[in-house]
Amino acid sequence: MATRLLSALLPAAAAVVLCGCELEPGETGPVQHETRSIDLDKSSKERVEINMGAGELQIEGGSPKLLEADFAYNIRSWKPLVSYDPGGFSGELRIEQPSHFGGTHGVNYQWNLRFNDDKPLEMITHLGAGEARMNLGSLNLRGVDVNMGVGELRLDLRGHPRRDYDVQIRGGVGEATVYLPSDVGIVAEVQGGIGDISARGLEKRDGHWIRAASEHAPVTIHLDVQGGVGAVNLIAD
């Protein structure tokens, strides 16, 4: 099912330029599996940048390390690139699809990424075509920035956030659903796009969607959603 969906979305993504990356023909072969991990170090916080041109992305917490990653791919040139610079006070982790990639039929490309729950993280993702399931509620987030291309995003922030943080979503062609934690303040601005906007559990006030019952909560999540062609769903109940 997922492979068929990815194959269907890739032609639409051929017109998408992602971080200077363009779709090019690629030959599929046997599925290859690879694991990578990055140990925790003395960095006080981490900046994580994920660049995925086309595929299925799964992110969650629960790792004893900074990162535990499982990759599956059946185009040799799509082997993911992982780099880490401890950088002293703030570390820099990059996970990216190679600069030139392609292929439209029989593609199998999956990333499963697990991050540490305690290390403060700023997460930036650039997604081309496919599906993203980002279950980030257990992470110690300092900020989330999602740039969508063609496909579907499910961003689950339900948990117990330790501080205020900002979430930015730049929509492409597809649907974005964001699950929000309970017992925290929510202030959301949703603009643009030609699809439906749903904000369950929130009320609109002065151009923003808010959780009125938690206006004075000690922690507040601020969302800025710029929709594209598709639906935006905020679920806060």
Contact 178, 233 (CB under 8 A): yes
pTM score of the predicted model: 0.87
Q: Please state, in angstroms and rounded to a whole number, the distance separating the CA atoms of residues 131 and 175.
A: 10
Residue 224: pLDDT above 80?
Answer: yes
Q: Please state, in angstroms and rounded to a whole number, the distance separating the CA atoms of residues 186 and 207.
A: 14
Contact 129, 151 (CB under 8 A): yes
- The string of pLDDT tens digits covering residues 62-71 is 999 999 999 9
DSSP designation for 208? E
Measured torsion, CA atoms of residues 93, 98, 103, 107, in degrees rounded to the nearest 10: -30
- The string of pLDDT tens digits covering residues 67-110 is 999 999 999 889 999 999 998 889 999 999 986 555 556 889 99
Q: Please state, in angstroms and rounded to a whole number, the distance separating the CA atoms of residues 141 and 182.
A: 16
> Quick one: pLDDT at residue 81?
96
Dihedral sign, Cα of residue 229, residue 157, residue 58, residue 36: positive
